[in-house]
């Protein structure tokens, strides 16, 4: 029996090698290694074969073969996910990294069509070369790829102005589990021709098919970005500042991020060449970015808004970035909180959202809850106040067994945090997705009717359940 299985896999690998050529497959453990563990080092999996198609036709050929052999498939982009969705658990691993062509930039249509393996920083550069902006921006942008960003409906630090990946996609091309190719690469802003199928694949985490290319929206490049780092006494003050900034800038706030004292301290400790832009004993900082169409008057808008905030005691102090280096330092601090937190040790992570009007209440009540349930634990609540998405992470008390904390002892606290989120009409996964990590919880938190509809979609597109099994559903 075991030998039969081994023979079948060997035959499958031989046929895949013939179909895609030697460059298109690998069984080399050294090459496979980074593909079978997540970047935080929390999950490690396995795969019988790494498949590296270089074109949609090759993805189709690979998927057809997997279907013939009844083998499950794990599609992978930059493998920078947070919820154990992209690490294979014995499935055939299809990496999109060789599919990195720019198919078209249609400047007059403000759109570009990129293959799934294009890295986000590259996508931003392509837009920039055409005097346009591709606004998705997040910590993992140096590794995250278009296909993965679509499959996880990535968020990041520009969502309050430009939306999530779902809002940035005009069309997609995907290969279905049976190998058929769906070309939905339409560059249309208006297209009311029945169900909008692309939305099924956006945020599906590879459970319905493999996204191979996408037509993405481009935006005017702002003439100037004004960046400031303000200190505030509480999350409530941060939310008040957000309202003021939106009003005073005519909706030009592109990022609005909250940084807690402990998060900043961890960055200063673990990330080389970082320094505090505005030392203070206050517990919170806010990073604000305005994107403006004209250099003239831009600084005045920022200064006027911050002056009003100081006068009405919404903020305690503020530093406006005077140079690109100062802006880069503020962003380096913000983008490295998760990295510094990882260097600090393991943490219970919650990627939650509530209506912006309830962010402050959530942070206050969540923090009190964590301290009450686990004295000595620290809360690091940071992130995207501007769109109501807080990363609410809890580190174990000093000396506690970290593995035991994240896998066992801390779990009642996680449930309590998510219960609080449910009571505030929030989401238990704002931007990181479900993966394997939150799959079981999703099933009981969502209504039966919602789960039934999701399962029906899955059955319709992937009747054999071979696409990224065990993730999401």
- Chain residues binding ligand MLT by CB under 6 A are 139, 337-338, 351, 383, 391
Q: Which of residues 381-400 bind Zn ion (CB under 5 A)?
A: 383
Report how far residue 325's alpha carbon sits from residue 320's, in angstroms, rounded to the nearest whole number: 12
- Closer residue to ligand MLT, CB minimum distance, 301 or 356: 356
Task: Please state, in angstroms and as integers, the Cα–Cα distance from residue 240 to each residue in 133, 256, 281, 455, following that order.
Answer: 29, 12, 20, 41
388 in the Ramachandran plot: left (φ > 0), alpha (ψ -120 to 50) or beta?
left
Give CA angle at 145 (143, 148), nearest 5°.
Answer: 120
Beta carbon of residue 427, minimum distance to ligand MLT (angstroms, whole number): 14
Binding track over 273-312 against Zn ion, x by CB under 5 A: ----------------------------------------
Supply the DSSP string of 279-329, one letter for each residue: --S-SEEEEEEEEES-STTHHHHHHHHHHHHHHTTS-SEEEE--SHHHHHH
Which of Zn ion, ligand MLT, none does 170 bind, CB closer than 5 to 8 A by kind? none
Beta carbon of residue 305, minimum distance to Zn ion (angstroms, whole number): 25
DSSP β-bridge partners for residue 317: 231
Which of ligand MLT, Zn ion, none does 363 bind, CB closer than 5 to 8 A by kind? none
Which of ligand MLT, Zn ion, none does 338 bind, CB closer than 5 to 8 A by kind? ligand MLT
Which of ligand MLT, Zn ion, none does 466 bind, CB closer than 5 to 8 A by kind? none
Report how far residue 108's alpha carbon sits from residue 417's, in angstroms, rounded to the nearest whole number: 47
Which residue lies nearest ligand MLT, judged by its C-beta? 338
Q: By rule CB under 5 A, what count of residues binds Zn ion?
A: 1
For residues 164 and 202, is the Cβ–Cβ distance under 8 A? no
Binding track over 336-375 against Zn ion, x by CB under 5 A: ----------------------------------------
- Closer residue to Zn ion, CB minimum distance, 78 or 383: 383
- Identify the three-state secondary structure at position 162: helix
For residues 458 and 465, is the Cβ–Cβ distance under 8 A? yes
For residues 210-227, one letter each, b for 16 or more C-beta atoms within 10 angstroms of the residue's C-beta and e for the rest, the string is bbbbbbbbbbeebeebbb
Which of Zn ion, ligand MLT, none does 470 bind, CB closer than 5 to 8 A by kind? none
Beta carbon of residue 139, minimum distance to ligand MLT (angstroms, whole number): 5
Beta carbon of residue 413, minimum distance to ligand MLT (angstroms, whole number): 17
Which of Zn ion, ligand MLT, none does 135 bind, CB closer than 5 to 8 A by kind? none
Beta carbon of residue 58, minimum distance to ligand MLT (angstroms, whole number): 32
- Closer residue to ligand MLT, CB minimum distance, 201 or 392: 392
**Tally of CB atoms within 10 A around 376:** 11
Beta carbon of residue 178, minimum distance to Zn ion (angstroms, whole number): 35
Beta carbon of residue 137, minimum distance to Zn ion (angstroms, whole number): 11
Report how far residue 271's alpha carbon sits from residue 332's, in angstroms, rounded to the nearest whole number: 9
Which of Zn ion, ligand MLT, none does 139 bind, CB closer than 5 to 8 A by kind? ligand MLT
- Closer residue to ligand MLT, CB minimum distance, 383 or 410: 383
For residues 134 and 116, is the Cβ–Cβ distance under 8 A? no
For residues 284 and 260, is the Cβ–Cβ distance under 8 A? yes
Beta carbon of residue 154, minimum distance to ligand MLT (angstroms, whole number): 9
Beta carbon of residue 138, minimum distance to ligand MLT (angstroms, whole number): 7
- Closer residue to ligand MLT, CB minimum distance, 35 or 350: 350
- Identify the three-state secondary structure at position 86: coil
Q: Which two tokens stand for residue 442?
A: 């999703």
User: How many Cα atoms sit within 13 Å of 104 on the Cβ side?
Assistant: 16
- Closer residue to ligand MLT, CB minimum distance, 146 or 292: 146
**Tally of CB atoms within 10 A around 402:** 14
Site residues for Zn ion per CB under 5 A? 383
């Amino acid at each position: 029996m075991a030998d039969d299985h081994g023979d079948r896999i060997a035959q499958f690998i031989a046929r895949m090698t013939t179909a895609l050529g030697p460059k298109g497959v690998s069984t080399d453990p050294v090459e496979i290694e980074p593909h079978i563990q997540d970047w935080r080092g929390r999950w490690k999996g396995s795969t019988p074969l790494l498949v590296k198609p270089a074109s949609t036709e090759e993805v189709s050929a690979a998927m057809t073969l997997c279907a013939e052999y009844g083998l499950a498939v794990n599609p992978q982009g930059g493998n920078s996910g947070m919820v154990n969705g992209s690490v294979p658990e014995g499935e055939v691993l299809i990496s999109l990294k060789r599919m990195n062509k720019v198919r078209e930039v249609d400047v007059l249509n403000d759109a570009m069509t990129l293959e799934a393996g294009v890295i986000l920083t590259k996508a931003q550069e392509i837009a920039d070369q055409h005097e346009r902006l591709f606004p998705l921006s997040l910590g993992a942008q140096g590794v995250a790829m278009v296909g993965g960003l679509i499959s996880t409906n990535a968020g990041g630090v520009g969502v309050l102005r430009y939306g999530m990946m779902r809002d940035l996609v005009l069309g997609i091309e995907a290969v279905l589990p049976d190998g058929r190719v769906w070309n939905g690469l339409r560059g249309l802003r208006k297209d009311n021709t029945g169900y909008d199928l692309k939305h099924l694949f956006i945020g599906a985490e590879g459970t319905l098919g493999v996204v191979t290319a996408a037509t993405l929206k481009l935006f005017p490049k702002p003439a100037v970005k004004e960046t400031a780092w303000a200190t505030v006494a509480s999350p409530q003050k941060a939310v008040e500042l957000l309202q003021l900034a939106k009003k005073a800038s005519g909706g030009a706030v592109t990022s609005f991020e909250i940084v807690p004292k402990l998060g900043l301290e961890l960055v200063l400790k673990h990330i080389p060449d970082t320094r505090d832009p505005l030392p203070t004993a206050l517990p919170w900082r806010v990073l604000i970015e305005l994107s403006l169409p004209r250099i003239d008057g831009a600084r005045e808008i920022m200064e006027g808004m911050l002056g009003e905030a100081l006068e009405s005691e919404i903020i305690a102090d503020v530093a406006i970035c005077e140079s690109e280096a100062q802006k880069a330092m503020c962003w380096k601090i913000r983008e490295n909180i998760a990295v510094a937190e990882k260097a600090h040790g393991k943490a219970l992570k919650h990627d939650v959202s509530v209506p912006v009007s309830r962010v402050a209440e959530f942070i206050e009540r969540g923090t009190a809850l964590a301290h009450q349930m686990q004295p000595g634990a620290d809360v690091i609540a940071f992130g995207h106040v501007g769109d109501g998405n807080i990363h609410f992470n809890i580190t174990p008390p000093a000396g506690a067994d970290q593995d035991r904390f994240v896998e066992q002892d801390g779990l009642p606290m996680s449930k309590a945090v998510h219960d609080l989120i449910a009571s505030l009409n929030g989401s238990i996964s704002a931007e990181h997705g479900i993966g394997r990590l939150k799959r079981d919880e999703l099933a009981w938190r969502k209504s039966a009717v919602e789960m039934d509809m999701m399962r029906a979609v899955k059955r319709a597109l992937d009747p054999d359940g071979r696409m990224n099994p065990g993730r999401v559903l």
